Amino acid sequence: MASNNKPPVAGIRVPPPQLRAFVADLFSRVDMPPDRCAEMADYLVRSDLRCVFSHGTSQAPGYARAMREGRINPAPEISVIEDSAAATVVDGDGSLGYFACHEAMKITIRKALTTGTAAATTTNHHHFGAAGTWSRCALESDCIGLAVSSNRFVPNPERSVLDAVTWGPFSIAVPAGEQPPFVFDGGGFDLPYSEERFGEAPSPFFKGFGVNVAVTILGGLLAGIYRQELMESRDGWQSNQGAFVAVFNVSHFMRVDDFKAEMDRYINDVGKTIPLPGSDEAVLPGGLEHRWQLENERDGIPVSDRHRERLEEAAEEFGVKAPFDGCQPFG
């Protein structure tokens, strides 16, 4: 979780519907169809609700500018280009990756409910947002979800082998019973490298490098983003990213109720351990985001002064109304 992905100490509380309306209005100004505007607004506001602000509504102005400049397709035709019993390939038509990944997860969940496991790749699109948006999709179906993404690049022969990766995001979501689901959602492992640090403790660098390479392969190479026809973008879109998603149906491995009980037991046991420095409690990834989401749905999304300024600047730039009327300050 990025360092800014926690509730701000001061700012204003904004009702989620107001933020959704603002984001939808913003995207409507760059020729995105109404249903796609509402869909994007929901994705970004959901990230804000969980305090994943790095991938929430603060992303909207940059996306809108890229569409206005003709780098991202605002009105894509998402298509399935490969389909089999347990695998799918989805083409994003030069758009933001959200739409292709939504389609990929919807299809993959449906297949996994029958086959037990299923996977998909998405290609020919731009940024897909928070990886946790897609891994979480599996939870409602009592499945485990996985999502990774990578962007096109060429390793620099003058740089370290540790830099021969994209540091793409990785997320896995696991359902629980009474406890919040386990949801790990983070960018690549980017350890501060020096020869001295590496000499003292090489293992973390090798492990992080291995995970980063796996993400680069699954979300990039397997997703086909290096295919020549995509590298020479047929429509001029900046479609340099891909993704890999997978779904595992818990019921094909053990009874769902038994698994959820095991998850609850484990999460309870973790809660009894010694917290990390700077933390008041021992909690698994996803636990705090679950709590923040419930609080923010009730009280409004906490928007920092910088976050507010960024959205106000976008409102003026695109000629839409800022979403802050009647919002209450805090802190």
Residue 74, pLDDT score: 97
The owner of tokens 């997978």 is: 246
* DSSP assignment of 79-112: EEEEE-SSEEEEEEEEE-HHHHHHHHHHHHHHHH
Residue 1, pLDDT score: 42
DSSP 252: G
Residue 234, pLDDT score: 58
Fold of 11-70+300-330: Hypothetical Oxidoreductase Yiak; Chain: A, domain 1 (1.10.1530)
Dihedral sign (CA 71, 224, 99, 92): positive
Residues near 2 by beta carbon (within 8 Å), at least 6 away in sequence:
52, 54, 187
| pLDDT < 70 stretches in the chain | 1-3, 232-235
Strands 117-125 and 87-95 turn out to be: parallel
Its pTM surpasses 0.75: yes
For the domain covering 79-270, report its CATH number.
3.30.1370.60
Residue 236, pLDDT score: 72
Q: Can you tell me the distance from the alpha carbon of 126 to that of 230, in angstroms, rounded to the nearest whole number?
A: 12
Q: Which residues pair with 89 in a beta bridge?
A: 82, 121
Q: Can you tell me the distance from the alpha carbon of 74 to that of 33, in angstroms, rounded to the nearest whole number?
A: 8
Q: How is the beta sheet containing 11-14 ordered, strand by strand?
A: 301-303, 11-14, 328-330
Q: Parse the chain into domains and list their residue ranges.
A: 11-70+300-330, 79-270
Residue 232, pLDDT score: 67
Residue 222 CB neighbour total at 10 angstroms: 18
**Closest residue by Cα to residue 131 from 98, 171, 165:** 171
Residue 231, pLDDT score: 72
Residue 228, pLDDT score: 81
pLDDT, tens digit (0-9, with 9 covering 90-100), for 161-211:
998 888 899 999 999 999 999 999 998 888 888 899 999 999 999 999 999
